[in-house]
Amino acid sequence: MATIRLGDTAPNFTAQSTEGDINFHEWLGDSWGVLFSHPSDYTPVCTTELGTVAKYKDEFDKRNTKVVALSVDGLESHKGWVNDINETQNTTVNFPIIADEDKKVSELYDMIHPNADSNLTVRSVFIIGDDKKVKLIITYPASTGRNFDELLRVIDSLQLTAYHKVATPANWNHGDDVVVSPAISTEDAKTIFTKGVNEVKPYLRMTPQPNLN
């Protein structure tokens, strides 16, 4: 079974989905991506999660990020479940759900943890950059629903730090001050970050978020 680590190229695959056949890398194109798995269809926590993602689609779009869900149930089951999600969550599912009956994708991404359940996927989340590299992995137990506000926050951080020489501190949110990369001297930082640099300690320098006007 594959083990995927941060910085690895996200494994490509082809699969059936509720929006037709998908070649994962081609489907991603030059977008970022979120691949997240569900233990099975017609389960209560998953129903709330998929409804939430549908409502957040505009937020993912703003971040040039595509979302795709997966469970080990079949396509017809997915289609019936989508009707329930739309009804109970007062939304319209607007992203693909992969049918992974043969568990090919689940095993490729190590989504089945036998000590939790030998057949069902755990709640895995993979955030994938526009370079097809895995940027973040989070694994939740089947009983715990995900916080999609947190996933949006993480995407904001990942995209900011990918393109600027900064890191984000604890509890950072978009618009907050950020940490200057340790690889940059304070002298150079003052030239790079024209909004100012606050040297709290020689190793801890703060600056306003650089990609905001």
Domain boundaries along the sequence of the chain: 14-145, 164-207
213 classed as catalytic: no
Least confident residue range of 53-67, 86-100, 137-151, 177-191: 137-151
Q: Domain spanning 164-207: which CATH class is it, in words?
A: alpha beta
pLDDT of residue 2: 58
Mean pLDDT for the chain?
90
pLDDT of residue 41: 85
The CATH number of 14-145, from 3.40.30.10, 3.40.50.720, 3.20.20.70, 3.90.420.10, is 3.40.30.10
**Predicted TM-score (pTM) of this structure:** 0.90
CA distances from 59 to 5, 28, 112, 136, 184 (A): 26, 17, 29, 18, 32
pLDDT of residue 53: 95
Q: Which of 15, 28, 46, 189 is catalytic?
A: 46
